């Protein structure tokens, strides 16, 4: 196929990979010159009203590692990645003009901040620039759902059963072919450091359950270990509620969150594992969790910015508190519940918390302390290495009684601690350490 003698720019957002990437694949197939762009938006590192940064050090460190890996992977294909510590609504129009870009590719987003940014870019660039915005973060493509968005069930089980019966997962896009070396820009770009972003340096904590680096290579290494070397995937359903160690769960969520790996790539690797090693409830359960991830994305797509409102998608009115002292006791692990404290200290010191921990601390925050759940969601956004806007706000709504939990459950924290940390090892690990600091 004859390539167009024009230039395409790929704006990387939460799709920091070169494999299974719609925009990159189609741009390199159709255009002679292709450039990548990533902007460290200063707005993402600004102070929130509650005294912490919108993105704190652990998540930022993982992002920096992911961008460096992406830059390396693109360079091997003779594609430059422009890296700037700048608002993309300023940087992208400048590069489109200076490089005479004809087409702009990016992953379609739909939440408030992302849409605002996209609209600002569209307003500043020439109408002659072709804009290709596509859904590329789902397991099931929105066009392949067996129902319309308006008909999307408000209960996960109904969604899952319909998708499993009537939808299929698309195949992955291949990596782009290597372009001519003349495609490279004659300028190199450095990644900002944590201090450049106004953040404190952090070290990997010796007790962290997530000591992994950012980037597509680390994501593939994790799949290699968890699936093929240790075969822990075969036991995932039995261990996924664990609290200690590297392998109680797949830990793929962080690479999924910034798109260093796609949901489709993981799905097809599970299918391969089932064919070559073993198919059981555990292999199915990892796919089940990918469908949960999809569900919160579709709920967000259906309800849009209602996921950020106090009443959630149910418009429920509760008497929420905004007590900063209560909030700080929760973030610093100084509540009356040792199990909550241990999980919050793990998050503070590592940027990671288990799924079981997240459910408990969120339930305690909203159902016991009766605090405005959005404060908790914003704190998770700041610290969690694997923060994903749709899963984060979807789960917080669910746990707080304003989302998709038809039973509006409240966790019994003491019972949960006895069940999942019967010997108290997890609580001792983190709570005792707090005493010495």
Domains of the chain, residue spans: 1-136, 139-168+215-303, 309-431
Sign of CA dihedral 371, 372, 376, 382: negative
| Cβ neighbours, 10 Å, residue 25 | 19
309-431: what fold?
DNA Cyclobutane Dipyrimidine Photolyase, subunit A; domain 3 (1.10.579)
Report percent pLDDT > 90 for the chain: 95
Residue spans of alpha helices (H) in 125-240: 156-166, 216-223, 236-239
CATH top-level class for 139-168+215-303? Answer: mainly alpha
pLDDT at 1 over 80: no
Check if the beta carbon of residue 309 is closer than 8 Å to that of residue 397.
no
The single-letter DSSP state of residue 224 is I
How far is 411 from 346, CA to CA, in rounded Å? 20
Check if the beta carbon of residue 383 is closer than 8 Å to that of residue 357.
no
**C-alpha distances in angstroms, 116 versus 120, 122, 123, 127, 197?**
6, 10, 11, 18, 22
CA angle (185, 191, 192) in 5-degree steps? 140
| pLDDT of the residue at 5 | 86
Confidence of residue 311 (pLDDT cuts 50, 70, 90): very high
**CATH (one of 3.40.630.40, 3.90.1640.10, 2.30.29.30, 3.40.50.620) for 1-136:** 3.40.50.620
| pLDDT of the residue at 406 | 77
Q: b/e map of 117-138 (b: 16 or more CB within 10 Å)?
A: bbeebeeebeeebeebeeebbb
Beta bridge partners of 34: 8
The single-letter DSSP state of residue 421 is S
How far is 45 from 36, CA to CA, in rounded Å? 22
Q: Which candidate, 341, 337, 339, places its Cα nearest to that of 368?
A: 337
How confident is the model over 24-80, as pLDDT tens digits?
A: 999 999 999 999 999 999 999 999 998 999 999 999 999 999 999 999 999 999 999
Q: Which has the higher per-residue pLDDT, 437 or 116?
A: 116
* Mean pLDDT taken over the chain: 96
| pLDDT of the residue at 224 | 98
Confidence of residue 370 (pLDDT cuts 50, 70, 90): very high
Model confidence, pTM: 0.96
- List strands edge to edge, sheet with 31-39: 81-84, 31-39, 4-11, 103-107, 130-134
Question: Token digits for 329?
Answer: 């006791």
């Amino acid at each position: 196929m004859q390539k167009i003698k024009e230039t395409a720019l790929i704006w990387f957002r939460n799709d920091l990979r070169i494999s299974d990437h719609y925009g990159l694949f189609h741009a390199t197939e159709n255009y002679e010159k292709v450039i990548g762009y990533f902007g460290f938006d200063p707005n993402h590192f600004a102070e929130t009203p509650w005294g912490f940064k919108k993105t704190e050090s652990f998540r930022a460190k993982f992002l920096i590692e992911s961008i460096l890996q992406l830059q390396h992977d693109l360079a091997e294909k003779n594609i430059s990645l422009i890296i700037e510590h700048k608002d993309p609504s300023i940087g992208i129009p400048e590069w489109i003009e200076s490089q005479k870009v004809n087409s702009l590719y990016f992953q379609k987003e739909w939440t408030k901040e992302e849409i605002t940014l996209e609209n600002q870019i569209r307003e500043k660039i020439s109408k002659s620039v072709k804009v290709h915005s596509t859904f590329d973060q789902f397991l099931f493509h929105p066009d392949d759902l067996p129902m319309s968005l308006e008909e999307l069930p408000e209960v996960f089980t109904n969604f899952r059963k319909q998708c499993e019966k009537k939808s299929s997962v698309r195949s992955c896009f291949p990596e782009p072919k290597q372009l001519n070396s003349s495609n490279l820009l004659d300028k190199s770009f450095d990644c900002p450091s944590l201090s450049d972003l106004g953040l404190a340096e952090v070290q990997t904590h010796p007790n962290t359950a997530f000591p992994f680096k950012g980037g597509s290579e680390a994501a593939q290494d994790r799949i290699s270990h968890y699936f093929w070397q240790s075969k822990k995937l075969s036991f995932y359903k039995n261990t996924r509620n664990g609290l200690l160690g590297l392998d109680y769960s797949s830990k793929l969520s962080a690479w999924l969150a910034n798109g260093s790996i796609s949901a489709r790539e993981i799905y097809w690797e599970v299918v391969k594992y089932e064919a070559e090693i073993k198919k059981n409830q555990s292999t199915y359960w990892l796919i089940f969790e990918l469908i949960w991830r999809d569900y919160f994305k579709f709920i967000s797509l259906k309800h849009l910015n209602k996921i950020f409102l106090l009443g959630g998608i149910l418009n429920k009115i509760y008497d929420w508190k905004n007590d900063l002292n209560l909030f700080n006791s929760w973030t610093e692990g100084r509540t009356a519940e040792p199990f909550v404290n241990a999980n919050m200290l793990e998050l503070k010191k590592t940027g990671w918390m288990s799924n079981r921990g997240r459910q408990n601390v969120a339930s305690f925050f909203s159902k016991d302390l009766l605090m405005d759940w959005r404060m908790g969601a914003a704190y998770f956004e700041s610290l969690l290495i694997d923060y994903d806007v749709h899963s984060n706000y979807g789960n917080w709504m669910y746990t707080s009684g304003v989302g998709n939990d038809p039973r509006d459950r409240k966790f019994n924290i003491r019972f949960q601690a006895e069940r999942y940390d019967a010997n108290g090892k997890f609580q001792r690990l983190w709570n005792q350490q707090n005493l010495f600091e």
